[in-house]
Amino acid sequence: MKKFLWCLLLGGCFSSCSWAASPPPNILVILADDLGYGDVQCNNPQRGKIPTPNIDKLAAQGLRFTDGHSSSGVCSPSRYTLLTGRYHWRTRLQRGIVGVFGEPLIAPDRMTIGTLAKQHGYRTAAIGKWHLGWDWALEKGQKALLQPATEAGADDEAKPRRAPAVATDKQREFWREFFSKPIAGGPTARGFDTYFGTDVPNWPPYCFIENDHTLGLPSEFLPASDLGNNRASTQGPALKAWKLEDILPTLGERAAAFITEAAAKPAPFLLYLPLTSPHTPLAVNSGWKDRSGLNLFADFVMETDAVVGRVLEALEKSGAAPNTLVIFTADNGCAPYIGVKDLEEKGHYPSGPLRGYKADAWEGGHRVPFIVRWPGVVKAGGVCHQLVYQADFIRTFADILGAKLPDNAGEDSFSLLPLLRGEDKPIRESAVSASINGLPAVRSGRWKYIPAPGSGGWGKGGDLSQPVQLYNLADDLGETKNLAAAMPEKVAELAALLEKLIVDGRSTPGSPQMNDVEVKRYVPEPAAKSKKQANAAR
């Protein structure tokens, strides 16, 4: 009956398509936050010490990709690319992340995976961390009313304020009015029928948001005891008695409830579930503290794995699992500030064999867990070593639906469908990920080019005597041998490739497109002089 109703709903949309799933699958995209490639046990069996049984089970039931990437070493840009199929560096956000109470990054007319699914009769929902900006009803000068007097003007999550703060009567009056207004430009304006989440769990407002309103009115500043120490980063308006520990399990329960309800209806559903963990705040619940025997971050990874299991269990119980495409991935690598050195001393390496961590242009910044399960299509227990990218989701979904994307959508998206159906040939020849500072890492087959020395992020090291980096990842996955000086022709080839990708406004076939802004070029600087040379030049 469900299949029959769905066919009536589409009215023969698939008749002119070369391939389309019938009935079309439900789609569940689970995006972990700051989960390193090696934090998942099945990716890192030798040097991974954190149990992740639910994620491992998902991999055993589906296809595990070893060369899957996010668009950036940090979150907002990666989320943009995952949802739109377009490189984030074509937008205004060529470095950094969307700031506290920041404006929307996704343009109103930009197609997202939610938009595409809605056009084909899907019920769509986003539950979790958005961090892509909203049209907050803030006038000039009002932002200071959302900050403690000692913090006015601070937008940097790396500089938390730990001083106690008490909201003034003027601030509370403003908050009552401000948080009573609808918030435009969020998920429900970018392709999702419903939204529930915290926007950014370590930033204000410290409350849940449902659709376009806060749930409750924040009335006080987050206590100083919740700041720093890998908890919240910035003081700001909070609900009274707001508990950071409640965020993750609440998201899991909401997701489970949505799946249960949606599975009982005739139309298929798409659920985008960007979890808030294991990103800070490391608000681990009592049942999970010290379970890993490693540190608090490792405990939080285990709790995250349990929430993934809770959501997948709800999918099984709903009866929808046999016709649901499940994707599990992460927005970037593990953050180095959560005790990485301590973890490595205990034998756990969050990046596995990769160099670098969150924020870096090196592989540890953007090569991430990437697992797909789709019963009846994806063979269980498979491993794929082809280059894939989170941008590829939107064109994959379009292919599954038998839809053709317009030229101004999914400009950097290639379909995963051939790989999901068992082929083992490249679907894309190139990819570009970037560090937090915007330094691009250009892939072309086995080759990787970085037009500067160093990581472009927080990672230390790098040979400053060479102005650019070139690695053969097939032989040197750990990026230990810079071949740039020995292979100038390959460097020039990849530099030209990057320029073409920028100028064309797309990496897929189709009409050239405009970038939103002028894309910054990273022109290699001359090799650094030695101290002896520098002194001689004085």
Instruction: Encode pLDDT of 198-223 as tens digits.
Output: 999 999 999 999 999 999 999 999 99
pLDDT surpasses 60 at 11: no
Looking at residues 460-488, what average pLDDT do you find?
93
Cis peptide before 164 (omega within 30 of 0): no
Give the number of other CB atoms < 10 A from CB of residue 96.
15
Segment 503-530 mean pLDDT: 85
pLDDT given at position 460: 86
Q: Is 60 exceeded by the pLDDT of residue 348?
A: yes
With 50 as the cut, is the pLDDT of residue 66 above it? yes
pLDDT tier at 534, thresholds 50, 70, 90: very low
Backbone angles phi, psi at 213, to 5 degrees: -135, 150
- The reported pLDDT for the residue numbered 163 is 60
Assess whether pLDDT exceeds 50 at residue 72.
yes
Q: Is the pLDDT score of 281 beyond 80? A: yes
CATH superfamily of domain region 2-136+187-215+243-320+327-429: Alkaline Phosphatase, subunit A (3.40.720.10)
- CATH dotted code for 431-537: 3.30.1120.10
Output the pLDDT for position 524: 78
Q: What is the mean pLDDT of residues 480-489?
A: 97
Percentage above 90 pLDDT, the chain:
88
Where exactly does CATH 3.30.1120.10 map onto the chain? Answer: 431-537
Residue 114 near residue 272 (C-beta atoms within 8 A): yes
* pLDDT surpasses 80 at 313: yes
pLDDT for residue 445:
97
Q: What is the mean pLDDT of the chain?
A: 92
Report the pLDDT value the prediction gives residue 18, as an integer from 0 to 100.
54
What digits encode the pLDDT tens for the residues 237-280?
999 999 999 999 999 999 999 999 999 999 999 999 999 999 99
Q: What is the pLDDT of residue 162?
A: 52
Q: Start-end ranges of CATH 3.40.720.10 in the chain?
A: 2-136+187-215+243-320+327-429
Q: Who has greater pLDDT, 414 or 155?
A: 414
What 440-446 contacts at long range (C-beta under 8 Å, 24+ apart), as own/partner pairs, is: 440/89, 440/361, 440/498, 440/522, 441/361, 441/362, 441/365, 441/366, 442/494, 442/497, 442/498, 443/69, 443/387, 443/473, 444/493, 444/494, 444/497, 445/387, 446/472, 446/473, 446/474, 446/475
pTM of the predicted model, to two decimals?
Answer: 0.93
Cis ω for the linkage preceding 281 (within 30 of 0): yes
Confidence of residue 157 (pLDDT cuts 50, 70, 90): very low
